Structure formats: structure tokens, C-alpha cells
């Protein structure tokens, strides 16, 4: 059974068209404070956005099916339990993807004429809805299946976005990701990694859970209200894992039927504490730069980090 799923590939495909969509709406946007222009913008803008959104959604789904699901055998709809795979890093990945898609979905509807709450709910439901359709495609794929824990993670990601917007009218706690390449000195492990996660850095960034870290990035000044801290300064708590050469265990067979048992390689959870930057708090009058900073804020800023793993604490002087 296949073990890798395309949720991160989806996110980065969406990232490409969402960045252009956000740019198109960047006439009078404050990314953290939404202003309602419904009195001055005709309803045709809402219909225009709706048609554009539908076209982007349908096109991306068609592209996804052609480039991913079409290449794998199909089956009757089924569900399966994958909670114990990849030390739950894939579940955090689902939460992250749903959250980011919700952020981009809301940004797409700014300056559309909809009220602030309408934008928030539509954006949040966009993230959840998009991920649910992908999960449905998984349900009809012989290599995967509908995962209730994936659906729960998707729901939580969108719920976090909606909850923050309704409570604070901004994202004071952002969910971000970072990636570092994980190589192996052992040629068997390196070969396994290349076949499972990809041969280049782009493929690894999307597929290799050993190099992915997910962060809750908290804006300090928004909670402390001291007036002395930089408005862009965040403190981030991260989660990652390594030593994973398979979804559940470090045992596998190659195409020749040769069995490999690398159970002695420890599968370890990792926790991090690191400073971060909220790029949306950086002031600029350049509209294109605002868009770049908004999109780039999905990624954790590289910085020193404290790592806690297997009961040991160590310092990473540069971590991404």
C-alpha cells in the first residue's frame, strides 16, 4: 500500500495561484485588519470573484487528478486508519495546509464587497472544503482511503483560522512550516530516501516528513501589550520527527524482493523553540511587497532554535 499522500503537493500548487489572486486584490488591503468596502464596490465584483474562484478551484482539481490520482489504481470508496503513520507529522501537515488555504481564501475575498464575517467564514470553509475534496479522492484510491483523522486535522486548521479572526480580527498565532534536507551516510538509507521521498530538494520538501517542521508562531506584542517589543517579533514552538524510513516501521522490501530491517534506526519526535518574524507586520507602501510578505509568512523564518528530543536538549544555531 502506498504511504505518501499528496496534501503538501496540493498546498504548493494552490500557493502559486493564490499568490496571484491575493495580488489582484491588493488595492486597499491591510492584511491584518479587514475593511469593508461593500458600499462602494458593486455586486458584480462578488460575482467576478466567485467565477474566478470556481475556475481556479476546478482547474487545480483537474490538474491534481491528471498529475497524481490518474497514475494510481482506483477502487470503491473506503476508509482506513492511518493515525499511527509518520509519528503524526502528516496530520500536522493536514492542519497546516487547511489553515494556510483558509488564510489565502479569506485574502482572495477582501475588497470584494462581502462583509468581514462573510470573508472569514468563506475563507475558512474554503480551506476545509478543498482538503475534504482531496480526502474524497483519496477514498476512491486503492493506495490510500478516506482518513477520519485527516478530516479532523483539516477541520482543526480551518477552525483555528476562523476562531482567531472572530476573536481578534487578525492571526496572532500563525501556523507555519520549514524544511531542511535530511541526508544519510549509509548508501542503503540514502537509496531508500531517494526512492521514497524524491531525488531533488523540491521533491524532498514536499514529501520527506523527516525534514519538515511545523510551528505555532505567536506574536508577542499582541499579547504582552508592552509597547516596547517590535510588532513583528514572534516566538515559535515547533514539532518535527526523524528516523522515519516507512510510514509505520523501518522495514521494507525492494523491487527485487530483498528485505531490509533498519529497526535499529530510532524514530524520534522533536520539539523546538525559536524566535520568528511576522512578515505581515513589516510596514511597506509597496503593494507587490505586501503580497510577497503575506505569502512568504506561511514559512518560518530561519533562526537559532532549542531542540528537545529523546529527553535531550541541544542548541541549533541555524535552523529551518
Whether 30 shows a pLDDT value over 50: the answer reads: no
Q: Does the predicted TM-score (pTM) go above 0.95?
A: no
How does pLDDT run across 50-61, given as a tens digit for each residue? Answer: 888 888 878 888
Give the domain-ending residue among 171, 190, 214: 171
For 94-150, the pLDDT digits (tens) are: 999 999 999 999 999 988 889 999 999 999 999 999 999 999 999 999 888 999 999
The continuous run of DSSP H or E covering 90 comes out as: helix 89-109
Kindly tell me if the per-residue pLDDT of 166 is higher than 80. yes
As a dihedral over the C-alpha atoms of residue 103, residue 106, residue 108, residue 109, rounded to 10 degrees, the angle is -170
Q: Does 248 lie in the same domain as 121?
A: no
The CA distance from 115 to 117, in Å, is 6
The enclosing H or E element of 309 equals strand 303-309
Q: In this structure, are 238 and 285 located in the same domain?
A: yes
pLDDT digits 0-9 by tens, 259-275? 999 999 999 999 999 99
Q: How high is the pLDDT of residue 53?
A: 81
Q: Are residues 155 and 25 in the same domain?
A: yes
Mean pLDDT of 292-317: 97
Of the residues 171, 186, 202, the one at which a domain ends: 171
What residues pair up with 112 in beta bridges, in sequence order? none
Let me know whether 1 and 149 are in one domain.
yes
Range(s) of the domain holding residue 211: 173-320
pLDDT, tens digit (0-9, with 9 covering 90-100), for 170-223:
999 999 999 999 999 999 999 999 999 998 898 899 899 999 999 999 999 999
91 has a pLDDT exceeding 90: yes
Residue 203 and residue 298 share a domain: yes
Q: Please give the Cα distance from 92 to 116 (Å, whole number).
A: 28
Kindly list the distances between the CA atom of residue 120 and the CA atoms of 132, 269, 300, in Å, as whole numbers in the listed order. Answer: 18, 34, 23
| Residue 20 pLDDT | 42
Q: Indicate whether 103 and 67 sit together in one domain.
A: yes
β-bridge mates for residue 174, sequence order: 217
HSE, CB side, 13 Å, CA atoms: give it for residue 182: 25
Mean pLDDT of 277-283: 97
Same domain, 157 and 25: yes
Q: 103 and 222 share a domain?
A: no
- Tell me: do 159 and 253 sit in the same domain: no
Helix (H, G, I), strand (E, B) or coil at 74: strand
CA–CA gap between residue 10 and residue 162 (Å, rounded): 21
In a shared domain, residues 10 and 126:
yes
39 against 288, higher pLDDT: 288
Look at the chain and report how many structural domains it folds into.
Answer: 2
- CA distances 215 to 53, 64, 93, Å, are 29, 27, 10
pLDDT of residue 13: 47
pLDDT of 24: 43
Q: Are residues 62 and 138 in the same domain?
A: yes
pLDDT of residue 163: 98
Based on the fold, state whether residues 217 and 201 are members of the same structural domain: yes
- Count of beta carbons in the 10 Å neighbourhood of residue 154: 28
DSSP state of 29: -
| Boundary (domain end) residue, out of 105, 140, 171 | 171
List CB contacts of 56: < 8 A, sequence separation 6 or more.
17, 21
Amino acid at each position: 500500500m502506498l504511504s505518501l499522500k499528496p496534501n503538501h503537493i496540493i498546498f504548493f500548487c494552490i500557493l502559486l495561484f493564490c499568490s496571484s489572486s491575493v495580488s489582484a486584490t491588493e488595492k486597499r488591503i491591510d492584511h491584518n485588519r479587514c475593511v469593508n468596502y461593500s458600499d462602494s464596490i458593486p455586486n458584480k465584483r462578488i460575482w467576478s470573484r466567485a467565477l474566478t474562484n470556481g475556475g481556479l478551484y476546478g482547474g487545480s482539481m483537474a490538474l491534481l487528478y491528471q498529475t497524481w490520482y490518474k497514475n494510481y489504481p482506483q477502487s470503491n470508496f473506503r476508509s482506513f486508519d492511518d493515525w499511527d503513520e509518520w509519528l503524526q507529522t502528516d496530520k500536522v501537515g493536514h492542519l497546516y495546509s487547511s489553515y494556510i488555504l483558509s488564510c489565502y481564501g479569506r485574502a482572495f475575498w477582501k475588497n470584494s464587497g462581502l462583509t468581514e464575517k462573510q470573508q472569514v467564514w468563506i475563507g475558512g470553509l474554503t480551506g476545509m472544503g478543498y482538503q475534504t475534496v482531496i480526502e474524497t479522492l483519496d477514498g476512491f484510491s486503492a493506495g490510500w482511503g478516506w482518513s477520519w483523522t485527516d478530516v479532523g486535522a483539516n477541520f482543526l486548521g480551518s477552525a483555528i483560522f476562523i476562531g482567531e479572526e472572530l476573536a481578534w480580527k487578525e492571526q496572532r498565532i500563525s501556523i507555519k512550516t520549514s524544511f531542511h534536507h535530511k541526508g544519510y551516510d549509509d548508501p542503503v538509507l540514502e537509496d531508500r530516501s531517494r526512492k521514497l521521498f524524491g531525488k531533488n530538494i523540491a521533491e524532498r520538501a514536499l514529501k520527506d516528513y523527516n525534514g519538515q517542521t511545523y510551528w505555532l508562531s505567536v506574536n508577542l506584542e499582541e499579547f504582552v501589550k508592552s509597547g516596547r517589543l517590535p510588532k513583528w517579533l514572534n516566538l515559535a514552538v515547533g514539532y518535527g520527527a526523524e528516523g522515519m524510513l516507512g510510514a509505520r516501521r523501518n522495514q521494507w522490501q525492494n523491487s527485487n524482493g530483498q528485505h531490509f530491517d533498519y529497526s535499529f534506526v530510532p524514530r524520534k519526535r522533536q520539539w523546538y523553540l525559536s524566535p520568528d518574524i511576522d512578515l505581515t507586520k513589516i510596514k511597506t507602501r509597496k503593494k507587490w511587497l505586501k503580497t510577497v510578505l503575506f505569502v512568504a509568512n506561511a514559512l518560518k523564518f530561519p533562526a537559532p532554535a532549542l531542540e528537545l528530543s529523546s529527553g535531550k536538549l541541544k542548541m541549533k544555531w541555524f535552523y529551518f
